[in-house]
Amino acid sequence: MHGKMMGTSLTITEIMRFADRLYQDTEVISITTDEGVHRSTYGKVFKRSNQVAHALLHLGVQPGDRVATLAWNDHRHMELYYGISCSGAVLHTINPRLFPEQLVYIINHAEDRIIFLDPMFLPLMETLADKLPSVKAYVVLTGGEKMPDRKLSPIHCYESLLSDQDLTYEWPELDETTASALCYTSGTTGNPKGVLYDHRSTVLHAYAACMPNVLGLSHDDVVLPVVPMFHVNAWGTPYACPIAGAKLVLPGPKMADGESLHALIEGEGVTIALGVPTVWFALLAYLKESGKAVKTLNRTIVGGSACPVSMMEEFEEQHSVYTHHAWGMTEMSPLGSVNRLLPGMGSLNASERNEVRAKQGRAPFGVDMKIVDDDSNELPQDGVAFGDLKVRGWWVADGYFRQDDNSDTHDGDGWFSTGDVATIDQYGYLNITDRTKDVIKSGGEWISSIELENLAVAHPDVAEAAVIGIKHEKWGERPLLVIVATEGVVPDETGILSLFKGKVSDWCIPDSITQVDEIPHTATGKISKKTLREQFANYSFG
Ligand code: ADP
């Protein structure tokens, strides 16, 4: 028997309609690439999304067509998020940090029809355009007077294109499983793979993100996503903030610039900021150097790679900012877990508390997780057993775009293999020990590179750390600690190694430390262990 409730589709259009009705004056502040700080509101952003939808029709875009963006976080990108998806087309957010050959691959694979791009990415696109047969037009995200010299054709100016369009649009009533957005994961092997989100998964993910035990957003909040809108939808904040009615502060190209982030936080009264650890290293260094404070900031949500406890402590002790560690991935829209202490945990002492907080947290309602051994047998959730982490849920991908066979990544019961190795404790807290490809196997035992890296960066001489496995005749592999030293410091290697004593088993302590000027990163800002392993392929412990 069916219930007698309304079957209204879960669509992104409903988020837009809701915020346009109830939070139309709530601000959306951006740093733009062409005109500095820009002040807008949900009401204005969504009016202009109507104009985007008309412009897409004018450019010949059909439902289901992929429309790409190559842009930083700002109001224009937000207008495109809604204008493209709500008109029934697919928003393909492109990561400009990908290698040129990867950009060509994904644009051709997605068969993007139009590319909307920030002016600073024009030179890059000019070098690639003749390899992109599906692209029918380029639109530069700027105003007429700032329109740069152009070699691409046909090319339009965003503001001129919008100015002729009507401010109202008859939005189609979409089926909730209509594809809404596409994001490619960089992937550690092979070509990038496209994750194709739909309206339903996006709404459910955004709904969950607002919940108190997840991001806990409300209309009293001012949210600063320092995570790019070109990678995993800025962790869903462009959808969750209008649902919560939270003011949105978009940092444009100033993602890793401590001074600009501080100015935005103080100037706009930011209460919650989200980002990867690298971003917060930059902000904390700036605050230390300048002696400045972040008075309004209450919480940071840190994920994308492991957040060291030393960072949480610095935020809390120096700036009264509480850090929630979070974990997720492109295939999960991305939220998979967020760390919040359970009620009974208030009585833990500082070190017990830190032990829990270092973990990546618990899954929200909507995500199931389990760990399995090599034969897919489920392992106990006791905080000790570790194995491959599998997930399933409403906002988890069940395959990749244009890839019919998902048997590489999904089992017969629909569980997705994350490629991460983890433990889950009796309270449901997830602890990521490594990516499957990065675990170090020494004498048959596994060593967690993440745990060692977190301990290493707590030393004042270490600015960044990575641990990789080096081939070893007796043990198979042994850990090598690669560090970038704090500026102007000759690192005290013995002191750094002594940090590990008593914190990990003796046999897990790295055999050696080596210093480099720079640690290589992937396009999504993670340490590229693959490149590092290639770099140290001939290393021997001597
Ligand atoms: P890409 O491979 O394109 O960088 P993602 O952004 O989807 O893709 O990265 C997801 C991966 O990032 C996860 O599978 C996990 O390995 C890592 N990750 C994300 N958050 C954390 C975290 N808090 N701690 C450790 N690893 C994390």
Please identify every residue annotated as catalytic.
185, 331, 441, 446
| Residue to probe by mutation, ligand 1, list 233, 431, 432, most atoms within 8 Å of CB | 432
Residues ≥6 apart with Cβ < 8 Å to 519: 464, 465, 466, 482, 484, 527, 532
State in Å: Cα 276 to ligand 1 middle.
10
Write a three-state SS string for 146-192. HCCCCCCCCEEEHHHHHHCCCCCCCCCCCCCCCEEEEEEECCCCCCC
In the Cβ-directed half-sphere of 274, how many Cα atoms lie within 13 Å? 33
**Ligand 1 site: residues with CB under 6 angstroms?**
185-186, 232, 303-306, 325, 327-330, 360, 418-420, 432, 435, 450, 522, 524, 526
pTM equals 0.94
Asked if 377 and 385 count as a contact pair (C-beta separation under 8 A), the reply is no
Sheet harboring 476-485: ordered strands across? 462-472, 476-485, 512-515
What secondary structure letter does DSSP report for 375? Answer: T
Q: For residue 352, give both structure tokens.
A: 């017990």
| SS3 state of residue 503 | coil
Asked if 352 and 429 count as a contact pair (C-beta separation under 8 A), the reply is no
Q: What is the pLDDT of residue 189?
A: 57
Cα dihedral 322, 275, 302, 39 in deg (nearest 10): 30
What counts of helices (H) and strands (E) characterise the chain? 15, 24
Nearest ligand 1 atom to the CA of 187 is: 2
Q: What is the Cα–Cα distance from 494 to 515, expressed in whole angstroms?
A: 13
State in Å: Cα 329 to ligand 1 middle.
5
Q: For residue 323, give both structure tokens.
A: 């850090």
Asked if 125 and 152 count as a contact pair (C-beta separation under 8 A), the reply is yes
State in Å: Cα 328 to ligand 1 middle.
6
**What string of DSSP letters covers 454-487?**
HHHTTSTTEEEEEEEEEEETTTEEEEEEEEEEPT
Closest CA to 56 of 150, 174, 139, 172: 139
Q: What is the Cα–Cα distance from 370 to 365, expressed in whole angstroms?
A: 14
Q: What are phi and psi of 93, to 5 degrees?
A: -85, 125
Sheet harboring 137-140: ordered strands across? 155-157, 137-140, 112-117, 66-70, 90-93, 179-185, 193-198
| Residue to probe by mutation, ligand 1, list 191, 278, 305, most atoms within 8 Å of CB | 305
542 residues of the chain, pLDDT tens digit each: 999 999 899 999 999 999 999 999 999 999 998 888 999 999 999 999 999 999 999 999 999 999 999 999 999 999 999 999 999 999 999 999 998 999 999 999 999 999 999 999 999 999 999 999 999 999 999 998 888 888 899 999 999 999 989 999 999 999 999 999 999 997 545 789 999 999 999 999 999 999 999 999 999 999 999 999 999 999 999 999 999 999 999 999 988 899 999 999 999 999 999 999 989 999 999 999 999 999 999 999 999 999 999 999 999 999 999 999 999 999 999 999 999 999 999 899 999 999 999 999 999 999 999 999 999 999 999 999 999 999 999 999 999 999 999 999 999 999 999 999 999 999 999 999 999 888 898 988 889 999 999 999 999 999 999 999 999 988 999 999 999 999 899 999 999 999 899 889 899 999 999 999 999 998 888 899 989 999 999 998 87
From residue 172, how far is each of 80, 84, 200, 270 by CA, in Å?
16, 12, 15, 35
Nearest ligand 1 atom to the CA of 326 is: 23
State in Å: Cα 274 to ligand 1 middle.
15
In the Cβ-directed half-sphere of 332, how many Cα atoms lie within 13 Å? 27
Nearest ligand 1 atom to the CA of 525 is: 4
State in Å: Cα 110 to ligand 1 middle.
23
Amino acid at residue number 316: E
Asked if 269 and 45 count as a contact pair (C-beta separation under 8 A), the reply is no
Q: What is the Cα–Cα distance from 534 to 309, expressed in whole angstroms?
A: 29
Q: For residue 321, give both structure tokens.
A: 């900012």
Cβ burial, residue 540 (10 Å; 0-12/13-18/19+): exposed
What secondary structure letter does DSSP report for 525? Answer: S
From residue 394, how far is each of 53, 206, 340, 352 by CA, in Å?
28, 11, 22, 33
**What string of DSSP letters covers 284-352?**
HHHHHHHT---TT--EEEE-SSPPPHHHHHHHHHHH--EEEEEEE-GGGSSEEEE----GGGGGS-HHH
Nearest ligand 1 atom to the CA of 185 is: 3
Longest Cα–Cα distance in the chain = 74
Domains contained in the chain, CATH given: 12-255 (3.40.50.12780), 440-535 (3.30.300.30)
Q: What is the Cα–Cα distance from 13 to 86, expressed in whole angstroms?
A: 5
What secondary structure letter does DSSP report for 361? Answer: B
